[in-house]
Amino acid sequence: MHKKITLKNGLRIITVPQKSTQAVTVLVLVGTGSKYEQRDISGISHFLEHMFFKGTKKRPNKLEIAETLDKVGGIYNAFTGEDYTGYFAKVEASKFELALDWVSDIFLNSLLPEKEAEREKGVITEEINMIYDNPMAHVGILWSKLLYGDQPAGWDIAGTKETVAKMTQQKLADYMKSQYVASNTVICVAGKIENSHAINKIREYFSGIKSAAFNPKAAVIERQTQPECLLHFKETDQTHLCFGVRGYNLFHPKKYVQDVLGVILGGMMSSRLFMEVRDNLGLAYYIRTEADANPDTGYLVTQAGVDNKNTEKAVSVILREYKRISEKKVPANELKKAKDYITGKMALLLESSDALASFYGSEELLQKEILTPEQMYAKINKVSANDVLLVAKDIFQPGKLNLALIGPFREKASFLKILK
């Protein structure tokens, strides 16, 4: 059973003991990401995450930061999203305190050296180049831009080459000071641990965390009355597309129905779109549908890569399946398969300590409430065929349809004609 305590300064600590492992994961999540940024510092959350690996007083350079856990075969990394930034270390259980020392050190004591910040501009610029050179990844950025436009929810998490070039040590330090505070932080330790020992050690190593208020994010503006399309012209052999709808956020009572709907449409190899678009028509190698629910935004999107000449046909077929599922109830066996797929896959994914830490930590950070996997399974299993039909009717409306694509196309009129 997990345990959660909140310290007087607002720092939340979650421990998840796991008997069936020899590993332990220390994860620190801070509630800030690209949605918390302003235009002139777009990408700063991600840039700061990179800088935490450049040196502390105790480990003054990059080599010492990396070697600490390399010497014990540890796995460590960091990540940035729209609503969070995370730092973790996974080690063999006897090295728990080393992992805790390392994570707390980079989180609380990073020096953000100016020379390293200048050097890192080149690294992040190449990361941006890499993503934009890969249409399969780039189309996801295009999708957010189409939905939300010029506001934080529509910006690339990495920022732009221009904002990255203008990043300074002072901006990084100010942003860290404003966001990296106790009340905005969750520490989750999962694996071969004993609750009280782990909590005492976390208190000890994170005693230096600052207590202060943090800057909230701007409200997301959603405006749409008709189908929208965003094309990015590129000479490619294959068109990559994201085609979907605005949906429900993390706090919407129907978010679990949206999850089931996404799986039925394109979440598994026997799903409707995979069978139709790939297996029956041979239009795509990859096609998948995802339902995404964030604290203030949500959508359901199908992504695929198709031959340029088959792009309009693929969009039409996907739209046909969207219409079909919003007009006729899903058969009982198909509904059961989707629900069993979600619960079964989740059980498999949560076997490792890092997945457990991420699950419990993000639940607390994003929802301020922890539902156990079993409680989630219960909510998923309650979804009925009628629920799926009503949600499909609600979200698959022309006024919510969006198509983003990368390929050799300049005119969107023919695509908009299909959507209407």
Taking residues 154-174, what's their average pLDDT? 98
Residue 323 lies inside a defined structural domain of this protein = yes
42 shares its domain with 100: yes
318 shares its domain with 258: yes
Could you give the number of structural domains in the chain?
Answer: 2
107 shares its domain with 233: no
List pLDDT tens digits, range 232-267. 999 999 999 999 999 999 999 999 999 999 999 999
Q: Tell me what pLDDT residue 217 has.
A: 97
201 shares its domain with 252: no
| Residue of 49, 228, 290, 364 with catalytic role | 49
122 shares its domain with 175: yes
43 shares its domain with 100: yes
* Active-site residue flag, 364: no
Q: Tell me what pLDDT residue 372 has.
A: 95
187 shares its domain with 302: no
Q: Which of 205, 238, 267 is the last residue of a domain?
A: 205
Strand-by-strand arrangement of the 85-92 sheet: 3-6, 12-17, 185-191, 23-30, 85-92, 75-80
Residue 216 lies inside a defined structural domain of this protein = no
CATH number at residue 43: 3.30.830.10
199 shares its domain with 261: no
Q: What is the 3-class SS of the chain, one letter each residue? A: CCEEEECCCCCEEEEEECCCCCEEEEEEEECCCHHHCCHHHCCHHHHHHHHCCCCECCCCCHHHHHHHHHCCCCEEEEEECCCCEEEEEEEEHHHHHHHHHHHHHHHHHECCCHHHHHHHHHHHHHHHHHHHHCHHHHHHHHHHHHHHCCCHHHCCCCCCHHHHHCCCHHHHHHHHHHHCCHHHEEEEEEECCCHHHHHHHHHHHCCCCCCCCCCCCCCCCCCCCCCEEEEEECCCCEEEEEEEEECCCCCCCCHHHHHHHHHHHHCCCCCHHHHHHHHHCCCEEEEEEEEEECCCCEEEEEEEEEEHHHHHHHHHHHHHHHHHHCCCCCCHHHHHHHHHHHHHHHHHHCCCHHHHHHHHHHHHHHHCCCCCHHHHHHHHHCCCHHHHHHHHHHHCCHHHEEEEEEECCCCCHHHHHHHC
Taking residues 294-302, what's their average pLDDT? 97
Q: Which of 171, 205, 239 is the last residue of a domain?
A: 205
Q: Which of 168, 190, 205 is the last residue of a domain?
A: 205
List pLDDT tens digits, range 172-206. 999 999 999 999 999 999 999 999 999 999 999 99
18 shares its domain with 159: yes
- Which pLDDT band, with edges at 50, 70 and 90, does 319 fall under? very high
Percent pLDDT > 90 in the chain is 100
51 shares its domain with 172: yes
Q: Determine the residue type at 196.
A: S
Q: How far apart are CA 80 and CA 356, in angstroms?
A: 18
Q: How many residues does the chain have?
A: 420
Give the residue from 272, 264, 271, 250 showing the smallest Cα distance to 376.
Answer: 250
381 shares its domain with 329: yes
Residue 217 lies inside a defined structural domain of this protein = no
Q: Are 260 and 392 in contact (CB under 8 A)?
A: no
CA angle 185, 189, 194 (to 5 degrees): 135
List pLDDT tens digits, range 200-236. 999 999 999 999 999 999 999 999 999 999 999 999 9
- Please give the residue range of the domain that contains residue 116: 3-205
Taking residues 72-88, what's their average pLDDT? 98
Tell me the average pLDDT of the chain.
97
185 shares its domain with 328: no
Q: Tell me what pLDDT residue 353 has.
A: 97
Decide if pLDDT at 420 tops 90: no
Q: How far apart are CA 125 and CA 129, in angstroms?
A: 6
Residue 190 lies inside a defined structural domain of this protein = yes
Taking residues 66-87, what's their average pLDDT? 98
Residue 92 lies inside a defined structural domain of this protein = yes
Decide if pLDDT at 120 tops 90: yes
